[in-house]
Amino acid sequence: MNTTQKTELTKRDYENALFAWEGGACNPIALANHLYQAIRKMNLGSTETAKHPITRLYLAQLSYLAGIGIGECGNADDDARKIIEYWDSLDENVRQIGKGV
């Protein structure tokens, strides 16, 4: 019996990818594992997965570590920041609703 649950990307997934890129993560096994877990959550077609900011951030860092690229992420960092900011604004709205504002 298959007991896997469908999960979705979270704010933390975007933060981890952005931190891996900006923080200069240096463990390719950990990067590959995080990328794999994120792709499983994406549930997108191959083209959409390849264009996703999380994919681009992890692959840019992996290619940099492998010495096959300069680590260009094609503005994926800006895209990830916008999504994180959106989540932050939702969190703030929920806090305000909880306060009865």
Q: Is residue 83 included in any domain, yes or no?
A: yes
Position 5 in a domain = no
54 within some domain: yes
Confirm whether 56 is domain-assigned.
yes
pLDDT score for 3: 46
Give the range of the structural domain holding residue 68, as residue numbers without chain letter.
11-98
pTM of the model: 0.73
Confidence at residue 1, expressed as pLDDT on a 0 to 100 scale: 41
- Residue 31: per-residue pLDDT: 93
CA nearest neighbour of 77 among 65, 61, 66, 90: 61
**Torsion angle defined by CA atoms of residues 12, 83, 24 and 46, in that order, rounded to the nearest 10 degrees:** 90
- Is 2 part of any domain? no
What total of structural domains would you count in the chain?
1
CA distance 40 to 55: 11
What gap in Å lies between CA 79 and CA 100, rounded to an integer?
32
Whether 3 is covered by a domain: the verdict is no
Number of H helices, E strands in the chain: 5, 0
Residue 47 placed within a domain: yes
Please tell me the distance from the alpha carbon of residue 17 to that of residue 53, in angstroms, as a whole number.
8
Tokens found for residue 41 = 């959550």
Average pLDDT per run of 10 along the chain, which is 101 residues long?
63 91 86 93 88 90 79 70 80 68 54
Flag whether 59 is in a domain.
yes
Report the pLDDT value the prediction gives residue 17, as an integer from 0 to 100: 92
In the prediction, which pLDDT does 100 show?
A: 63
